[in-house]
């Protein structure tokens, strides 16, 4: 089984599939309201000490470092998400 990486440890440009979200039901519902859910592909756009900005289904979502640490990703090949990045840039 591939190794997961916490979202807050992933570099800019990292493309991953959300494998697991740590936290209670209320926390997971909050993330779902932002469009972040298990088995969804995301791309890291900006990584900063105070948080991370990701691309999720064509929308940019900013998450603080504590929240990002609870989201575990499986790495995906770069070619998998190129189309999604191109849609945001146009």
What's the pLDDT tens digit per position in 12-36? 999 999 999 999 999 999 999 999 9
Q: pLDDT class for 38, splitting at 50, 70, 90?
A: very high
Q: What is the CATH number of the domain that holds 16?
A: 2.30.30.90
Per the structure block, which two tokens stand in for 59?
């929308």
Dist CA 11 CA 18 (whole Å): 15
What distance in Å separates the CA atoms of residue 1 and residue 56, rounded to the nearest whole number? 24
How many domains does the structure of the chain reveal?
Answer: 1
pTM of the entire structure?
Answer: 0.82
Secondary structure letter of residue 12 according to DSSP = T
* Average pLDDT value for residue range 35-54: 93
For residue 88, the model assigns a pLDDT of 53
Q: Is 23 helix (H, G, I), strand (E, B) or coil?
A: coil
Domain that holds residue 20: 5-89
In the block, tokens 């948080």 appear at 51
């Amino acid at each position: 089984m591939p190794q997961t990486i916490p979202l807050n440890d992933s570099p800019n440009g990292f493309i991953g599939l959300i494998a697991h979200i740590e936290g209670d039901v209320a926390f997971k519902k909050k993330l779902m309201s932002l469009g972040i859910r298990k088995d969804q592909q995301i791309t890291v756009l900006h990584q900063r000490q105070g948080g991370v900005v990701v691309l999720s289904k064509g929308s940019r979502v900013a998450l603080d470092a504590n929240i990002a640490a609870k989201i575990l990703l499986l790495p995906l090949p770069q070619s998998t998400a190129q189309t999604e990045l191109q849609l945001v840039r146009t």
